Amino acid sequence: MFGDMFEEEEDVGFVSENKTMNGWKSRKKDTDPPPHRAASNLSGIKNQGGTCYLNSLLQTLLYTPEFRESLFALGPEELGNLSDKNKPESKVRVIPLELQRLFAQLLLADQLAASTSDLTDSFGWTSNEETSQHDVQELNRILFSALESSLVGTSGHDLINRLYHGIVVNKIVCKECGNISERQEDFLDLTVAVKGVCGLEEALCTFYVEEEHFDNDNLYHCGRCEKLVKATKSAKLRHLPTFLTISLLRFNFDFTKCERYKETGCYSFPIRLDMRPFCEQDNLPDSEYEYDLFSVIIHKGGCYGGHYHAYIKDIDQLGTWFSLDEQTAVVNSSKDSTNQDNLLKLGDPVEVLKAILVQVGPAGVLVDQLGQKLLEKVGVAWNKRYRKQYGPLRKFLENHPDVFLFKADGARVAVKQTDHDFSGQQPNKSKIEKAQTENSKASTAHADKTERHSKIPTSEVHWFDFDDAQVRPIQEKDIEKQFEGKECAYMLFYRKSQLQRPAEARGNSRYKVPPDLLEEIANLDASLQKQRAEFDSATNNFEVHLHLGPEYKFENGALHPASSQKDSVLTITIDRRKTVGDLRQAIFQLLEFWKGDMVITAAKKLPAGLHLYETFHEDHTSLYSLGITDGAILFIWNGNQVDGVEMNAGEEFEPMLLKILCPTLRSKSETEMVQFIEMERVFTRNTLLSYARDILALSTGISPDELTVYYKKKLENKGSTNWVAYDAEDGHKSLADLRLKDGDTILVSDQKYCNLSVLTSNGMPIAVADRSWLQVKNYCGEKLSQTAGTTVTIPVTMETLISEIKANAIEKLKLKDKQDGTCLRPIDRTGKLLPPVSEDLTVKGIGLKTGSSLALFPGHTPKGTQLFLYFSVGDNLHMNPEMEIVVEQSISVRECLKLMLEKAALTGEYWHLRKTDWCYDAGEILKDEEATLTDVKITNGETLIIMEGRLPPKGFLMLPVWLYQPPLNSENRGCFQDEQENIANKLCALSFESSARDFSLQQYMGTELECVGNVEISGEASLEDLKTQVLTLPVLQGLSVPSIEFLRVWLVENKCPVKILRNQQQQLSKFKLGPTAEIGIQLLQAEENLTSTELLLRLKMAVPGERMYYPAEEFIWDISKDCTIRTLKQKIIQHYSLPLEQIEIAKYFPDQFEWMLMTSWTQQVSKKKKKKKLQSLQGAPYYLKDGDIIGVKNLLIDKNKDFSTVVDDIGKEKLRLEGNSKDKRHQATVQQIGDVAECHEKQKPCARTRRPEVALSISVADFR
């Protein structure tokens, strides 16, 4: 989605004297002429950094011919001229005009991709919108709204409504009086669900075929009957648009994990869609209901970011379609990554480069850009993968003239065309020529067309993938690959099947394009052609700077001019395709005085002087293949000595200029200040620290035994630095190993100066005062926003009173009238305002750190008997606004709820309060509404949640009930199949929708859970009463359960069954079920009455020789006598009839995907402690409980003692990746937040670490 923002630069070689990255004078991409159109003859759109969502929608609108031609039909007399847009009082409709220009460029201009910068400027967008990711469904609605507003008062005022407008009618029918309540809704696009359905037609059926019933506790108030009655609700499509846009709800929220996620399951949609079953009227001809798919916008990625591209049908056959199978080794960039993987594995670089150039087309690519293309497709640069074995890229291409062909005097390269390699390209070329001929004829003599072509044959209409600047042909079957996965369909565009295109539009990209735009595109093409010609002539020449060896001397570790820079340097211009021998000959002609050998060596300017690197020996090697580029520095010498001194070339001998600080006492003073002498010294990178220390001792006069070398170390999470001494072991390391670089500062000192002063980052001494500061932001303005307030800095100590800080801040802010009506509130790291602090306390007393921020906020500080509370309505605290209230500690929960409801403007009695848990989600319910806030331990600054729903009466429990069915083995798999199907049918009939506690099937150890309802029961009731009442639930009433002994009740925690409730006569209150308790019921084949000494386990026997297990079996173990590993093994041996020493068992921990081997040695005791009781398996480390999985391995036929499976490996890897991701996010957060650095009073406050999401918008002038 971010275009070329993160493209890796191609590896380059030697350094020029220009002060750019790596010393190179790199040519900007913007100066390159735009490439020609690709082989598809269709133009893409450039990505401005994050506008792939805009590009995909614009291409869809462009290839909606009726929309495009209706837009072109609006002339300057209605829209105005862009040249007048800056004139005062001129109402130029800029957005449709810029859209016309963009469409004309995409249709006609000879360029690979068009730019949308003019269009986004007309939207009023800044670089923030152009580089931010947004939702294409949101853009579709906003863009249509902007076009409607821009076309007001023109003949195209109804353009959007005419093409995209539809009507949905919602009806509610009273079952008693038959009254119909009807509500009509307009739509431009239909939004359909993805979760829980397998395809588009099923989703439409759910919305527009199935009826919703109002009965039982959910009755409808009939206006005619004037009472609550049973009713049915349905929706139908009353009017179908010409173009049907369907948005798929791919993004949802997981209330369990408290995070957003993307639905990536299979979701099919047809190529031809019949809308008759979903319409109110079904007596029209079939053609009125049939739609053909012509565009699919695809999203690749997750819910927090990704990339958009579009599959679009070329209805007017403007492009040149060809099968990718006809080309050799073309890299498939679609979701199927097998071709990409095969390309990565290719060892022969000839085939790799050939595949890339075939995809580019016969025009080829600049040799400069081929390395970047290789990096994009393969992921590895040429220099890193192939240079060592095959040499430079250009040299490799030159050595294979039978495969690669150089064009434009060697600047471009393409695959050499042969009858075999490019047999599939010739038809494409003929198609292009034929299309151009037809375009010319169509533009000059449309009236001479015969009627033998009444419409475009649909069999010749093909699909293309529009991915920003790239457009490639695809087949219709490729659409099926976008049914599921991280790269999947996100928006669907259908057109009525009865729409026919005129023959004149076939292959004619100039069809109905206004003449003024045709003239503009002709001028643009002429300009592009001129740019390409100038670029082709200028791109191959560059300048190199020749530094002459006889004019240099070696001094202070580097080369320096002996006289003047002007006499020692020559600049020549040469063709990059020339060889080293050609360069040497050109230098000989310039330097007639030169005698003897001439050696050319790459050099680089450093702070210490000039340094030599690689010497060029091969005369036949081209300059470009050696990495010599514009502005490179070359040193010309005899290859041995300079000014009588032998030279050491290479990176290890590179000179390093260091700044040395040496302290000296200035005078005896009370502040004990010292004076620093600064000097510079040059060392090579491979100089050892011990040798450098000896040199510094001679320079400073400090004894080597007392001299200490310090370096600056940046403190973690702080903006300051500290001086740290090198260890004795560092003396054997080189300066490069110590990560010193040019310009670094080191401090040398003896022991008597160690603690005389504190140094700043630039090495100078400063005075330290026993004072710090706090920031106070003004929130007392008309707009209580963080950005609108002024910030002042208040100097404080830890004993400063809050009242003094407040008075000082009010004085600096000039708010003396706000003295009594304000309070101070701390601001946390996320920018949230914390409760007001007491003015009688000190900075230390309220636990504030120096450098923190406070808010001067309107309102009074709560008294000692009052509580400052936050509250929100609903359990989604991240979406719902958070409100504040001050209440007395002595009021009851009911009174507190009443005050909060009044402040939130809510009515009704069916509300209750809940606390928040550690992850800021809805937690414990405040059930005792008559208790005071102090009794329920509500503290100052706590957040409460107002939830809708009635609380059960005191002493009663509200228990959600789940139907729990573990996987059954082969013997009893079909025992309850009828009952399960019966339950499923009843759930569908009741249209039961579970709450936020619902979760997906088979989420826990392969078990299945389905929510079947809620049970309200007294805490004094018995387990037998609970089972009886559960069977009265509507979903379970039809089950053939002989007695309640055939039901097993589980306690469910975190949506996992963890414990079986035993003893039929036991009161529910004895089980200590909390307010959030949930239960699961399991249907049994036989009566069961487990005692407290019986443990239910699930045994899994390993499949011999495979990393998998047979289906689990339930195993009841009596632990009344013993609960040890040996006893468990004996019981399992009896169950499977195996020898004692020939089995191994292990317990499975599903949350960690780990198996813990259960061996007897862990419970052995010494001889002195024989009488000690063996440790129970219900304790550490196994914590055995109901439902635990025990793996069993038969060592007679399987010697492998590894219990893990492939699923476990995948789960561990997922946990590891999630852990790394959390660590990285945590480190990034800590690094961004840090501690507040010391800053000046006038300096702006630091920005928050996380910006709120900003809605997408388009600015439109008023044309009414």
d(CA 632, CA 516): 48
First to last CA, the chain: 37
Question: Which tokens is 290 given?
Answer: 């049939």
Beta bridge partners of 796: 772
Spot the catalytic one: 52, 222, 662, 1056.
52
> What residues have CB less than 8 Å from 331, skipping those under 6 apart?
339, 340, 343, 355, 356, 359, 377
Q: Is 557 left (phi over 0), alpha (psi -120 to 50) or beta?
A: left
Question: 3-state DSSP call for residue 178?
Answer: coil
> What residues have CB less than 8 Å from 1252, skipping those under 6 apart?
none
Q: Which amino acid is at 280?
A: E
> What residues have CB less than 8 Å from 1085, skipping those under 6 apart?
972, 975, 976, 1046
Give me the residue label for tokens 């950094």: 49
Question: 3-state DSSP call for residue 938?
Answer: coil
Beta bridge partners of 642: 645
Range list of H helices, 939-1097: 977-990, 1023-1030
Q: Are 1044 and 1082 in contact (CB under 8 A)?
A: no
Dihedral pair phi/psi, residue 23, rounded to 5°: 80, 5
My answer on whether omega of the bond before 33 falls inside 30° of 0, hence cis, is no
Sheet holding 166-174, edge to edge: 180-187, 166-174, 231-239, 212-214
d(CA 1115, CA 1092): 15
Q: Which amino acid is at 397?
A: L
The 10 Å CB-count burial string (b at 16+, else e) for 1121-1138 is: eebbbebbbebbbeeeeb
Q: Where are the beta strands (DSSP E) in 398-514?
A: 404-407, 412-415, 463-467, 470-474, 487-496
CB atoms within 10 A of CB 954: 10
Beta bridge partners of 1189: 1098
Closest CA to 999 of 367, 461, 140, 257: 257
Beta bridge partners of 1193: 1144
d(CA 775, CA 827): 10
Question: Which tokens is 1057 given?
Answer: 């069954």
The secondary element (H helix, E strand) that includes residue 360 is helix 349-360
Spot the catalytic one: 299, 307, 309, 912.
307
- Nearest-5° angle of CA 641, CA 647, CA 650? 145
> What residues have CB less than 8 Å from 1225, skipping those under 6 apart?
none
The secondary element (H helix, E strand) that includes residue 1191 is strand 1189-1194
Closest CA to 4 of 139, 131, 134: 131
52 is catalytic: yes
Cα–Cα distances (Å) from 679 to 195, 683, 748, in that order, read: 70, 13, 11
**Would you list the DSSP string of 599-649?**
EEEEEEEETTEEEEEEEE--TTSBTTTTT--TTEEEEEE-SSEETTEE---
Q: Where are the beta strands (DSSP E) in 156-262?
A: 166-174, 180-187, 190-193, 212-214, 220-222, 227-229, 231-239, 243-249, 251-254, 259-262
- Nearest-5° angle of CA 82, CA 87, CA 88? 135
307 is catalytic: yes
> Among all residues, which ones are annotated catalytic?
52, 307
